Structure 1
């Protein structure tokens, strides 16, 4: 290690950005699968003769695997290390995606998608957590939000591939072969993710927590420079000191009274990210645009516009999250989402879907989501929890996120068929309004605070609440 790096006065942003970008590639895999399935589901419906309920299950079965993977991510990450578990997750995704493209029957296809989902669930919990643990406080928001940038980049690339591959030949070829080529192409980013993980060090916080500060210090030196790195070691050691001899965090500890408020905020924010309808639009965008009268080619073209909008405004969120703050972005974004979803519902209710109104409202909705709930929720989940329970709590919240994703993805085709698109989008608008109200009243601002400062903030809130109890109990 060079003297220059050891004595640098500020963070080595090139190094931090490199390792954060690699960890965030797990999000790219998730986004790629979303748009690849969006392009393939119409052909899968014909290939396997699927009804609306079975189509929803074929798309959303992956999320069962994601939910299970997320449920075990905290325990596995705390015991084995963030890097090892991400490598295992990459193997599961690559194998599941590759073999599902070769599946000869629907049951086998579904089983392989669940295996793929296990990998995505693990990376969705551990990627943002890893980035939060290695990032300097000043840049943590945007580095954690890289996960969402990776997700939308995967969505855009998958949309472009869907447009290109399904446009290569006629519908009969797509029904027999095109969807296999589209899904099989996901093996390439999976192998890339596994290859680049060799460049990523283990989380220094994890190393210190497991009694290996001598291995953590060189990593922190590369991240912070000598003076800040040695102080960081002392701060991390101090935060773990009271945990000595306590073993790993348990679910009983996670659900204790002192953590209940933080956990409720994390779980609800994770659920809001999904029940406001984003993945219904991402998974079924071509179907939605077909209902407005667009043909197959036109619907896929409009889906590409959705992916491009998502990418542009997610990039904008990286710039805003550490400037405007987490809470302000969610408030503005959820308000705009509520209005745009209401307009979409009205357009379907009135039958005015032939013009550009629905496309424009969907693009505004996606833009608002991208700069708020899309990127910022991952930041909140990665930073609000105390260090002792962070891995387990992040896993529980990510599991709740995937469970909500499953509920929306599974029910959306049936909702469109039974309640109709107007009622469905108004339901999403109501969820967006609820997200606004909850954020206004319950979510604190964490911009610019270190992980240890955030932990101290919650401790102060608990102590203040406890100090009020005697006076509140007086007659």
Structure 2
């Protein structure tokens, strides 16, 4: 870990900023837990509440409805009340949801509690990476924002084992009556931990300056940058807000900035329509299509979670070295190839054996090192200070909406079009992601948030002398 020896000399205090970034990223752990916990619980719930297949799908997807709502309101709320206060509110909602989903007497109350938790997850999925982007020095921003994705995949991976342990703690009757309640109830533990630790993180200095409180922001920036750089940072941030005081959504459609909106929302949607959550939500069913038995498919699903975890760590190491755009290009190209091969294997009858498993693991690894963490990084840093909260919320809402569409359409696509056509459709989306990145997405590595904003402003003014071609790095 790189550390600063003397903050007075203007060196970055990476220990301080890493600590508060890790606390913020715990919101991603809650995200991962709530995404994965239902996979182990829904079978027992189906028997307990005597659910139809439609209700089983609603038990899974109701969370995503809450996430869309949470993402939609996160920008407005965080711009008004601050990033920290809204994250605290999200942690409270998550704890309420964990208790509520563990204790319901009816399926209706379970769904209501699940949606409440989804609102909290929608807020944290937007604000945790945004907060880390606003607090982090430019040199380390990529990896510090990507900590959120590492927390998400850690939550998913750990939850698989928690579910396995709980389900094995009693007989079948106990599992149907109580195991699923414990699975959901355990989520209160990380929720309370997140709530307590948030008390020790500072407010975003950029939000404080936006509220006309530079004196409150300066001590935070001093801890991060040192005296000389902190003072310059305050000046740069104040100037970015002074250019236009209003933070209305209408500004996002101004020349230059609408390209930022197109890039952010486009990447958010493409992250999902390349099929990653179809694999993560329905991995056991996919592996059963290859002829694997129930136990083998569950083991292979845990292997998917492990690969996702390991390659997200690789992404943290690479993102500030090779850059965001390079990772997106390499990852989307690799995903397209993997999905093509998987489709061919199903089409030609060669799905049995290790071939499909190998290429699904390669596909997950490619996603984990590229679209998984990098998209969250880009949508948290690409927008100007004065509208970052609202704009990031729009991109996150689009991501969750796309996630909902994928999760709802995958089962009927698999049964009607077949696995080969389904994976080829996702592969075509990966090809689209490659060309979208190549033509639209800028490289933001090593740039301060204010420098990124200045470049969008230069584009809006048509200042070709300040702006490199779109296919080059910013």
TM-score (norm 2): 0.93
Residue number among 334, 337, 362 corresponding to 2:335 in the alignment = 337
- Find the counterpart in structure 2 of residue 284 from structure 1: 282
- Find the counterpart in structure 2 of residue 202 from structure 1: 203
Correspondences of 1:376-415 after superposition (within 5 Å): 376-415=374-413
Correspondences of 1:142-181 after superposition (within 5 Å): 142-181=143-182
- Find the counterpart in structure 1 of residue 470 from structure 2: none
- Find the counterpart in structure 2 of residue 124 from structure 1: 125
The residue matched to 1:343 in structure 2 has which SS? helix
* CA drift at 1:346: 2.5
The residue matched to 2:385 in structure 1 has which SS? coil
The CA distance in 1 between the partners of 2:446 and 2:201, in whole Å, is: 25
Residue by residue over 1:253-294, the C-alpha shift from the partner in whole angstroms, topping out at 9 and shown as x without a partner, is 333444221101110100011111111111222222233333
- Find the counterpart in structure 2 of residue 259 from structure 1: 257
* CA drift at 1:317: 0.3
Any conservation in 2 of the 1:163–1:301 contact (CA below 8 Å)? no
The residue matched to 2:291 in structure 1 has which SS? coil
Higher relative contact order (CA closer than 8 Å, sequence separation 6+): 1
Residue 70 of structure 2 is aligned to residue 72 of structure 1: no
- Find the counterpart in structure 1 of residue 41 from structure 2: 40
Any conservation in 1 of the 2:342–2:423 contact (CA below 8 Å)? yes
The residue matched to 1:10 in structure 2 has which SS? coil
Any conservation in 1 of the 2:260–2:383 contact (CA below 8 Å)? yes
TM-score (norm 1): 0.93
The CA distance in 1 between the partners of 2:366 and 2:71, in whole Å, is: 26
Residue 232 of structure 2 is aligned to residue 234 of structure 1: no
The CA distance in 2 between the partners of 1:96 and 1:447, in whole Å, is: 37
Any conservation in 2 of the 1:341–1:365 contact (CA below 8 Å)? yes
Range with greater deviation from structure 2 (60-69 or 343-352): 343-352
- Find the counterpart in structure 2 of residue 471 from structure 1: none
Residue 83 of structure 2 is aligned to residue 85 of structure 1: no
Residue 456 of structure 2 is aligned to residue 458 of structure 1: yes
Any conservation in 2 of the 1:53–1:414 contact (CA below 8 Å)? no
- Find the counterpart in structure 2 of residue 472 from structure 1: none
The CA distance in 2 between the partners of 1:343 and 1:101, in whole Å, is: 42
CA RMSD of aligned residues (A): 1.9
Any conservation in 1 of the 2:255–2:460 contact (CA below 8 Å)? no
Any conservation in 2 of the 1:63–1:117 contact (CA below 8 Å)? yes
* CA drift at 1:350: 3.2
> How many residues align structurally?
461
Q: From the superposition, tell whether residues 460 and 256 of structure 1 become closer, same or farther in structure 2 (CA, over 3 Å).
A: closer
* CA drift at 1:153: 0.6
Any conservation in 2 of the 1:35–1:155 contact (CA below 8 Å)? yes
Residue by residue over 1:154-183, the C-alpha shift from the partner in whole angstroms, topping out at 9 and shown as x without a partner, is 111111212222334454443332222212
The CA distance in 2 between the partners of 1:428 and 1:11, in whole Å, is: 42
- Find the counterpart in structure 1 of residue 58 from structure 2: 57
Any conservation in 2 of the 1:38–1:285 contact (CA below 8 Å)? no
Residue 184 of structure 2 is aligned to residue 191 of structure 1: no
Range with greater deviation from structure 2 (348-357 or 74-83): 348-357
The CA distance in 2 between the partners of 1:184 and 1:378, in whole Å, is: 28
Residue by residue over 1:228-256, the C-alpha shift from the partner in whole angstroms, topping out at 9 and shown as x without a partner, is 11111111111112334x4xx22233334
* CA drift at 1:372: 0.4
Any conservation in 2 of the 1:56–1:413 contact (CA below 8 Å)? no
Q: From the superposition, tell whether residues 222 and 5 of structure 1 become closer, same or farther in structure 2 (CA, over 3 Å).
A: farther
Any conservation in 2 of the 1:70–1:118 contact (CA below 8 Å)? yes
* CA drift at 1:8: 4.4
- Find the counterpart in structure 1 of residue 469 from structure 2: none
The CA distance in 2 between the partners of 1:172 and 1:284, in whole Å, is: 25
The CA distance in 1 between the partners of 2:11 and 2:217, in whole Å, is: 18
Gaps of 5+ in 2: 466-474
Range with greater deviation from structure 2 (112-121 or 292-301): 292-301
* CA drift at 1:224: 0.8
The residue matched to 2:369 in structure 1 has which SS? helix
Q: From the superposition, tell whether residues 134 and 202 of structure 1 become closer, same or farther in structure 2 (CA, over 3 Å).
A: same
Range with greater deviation from structure 2 (420-429 or 379-388): 420-429
The CA distance in 1 between the partners of 2:282 and 2:292, in whole Å, is: 14
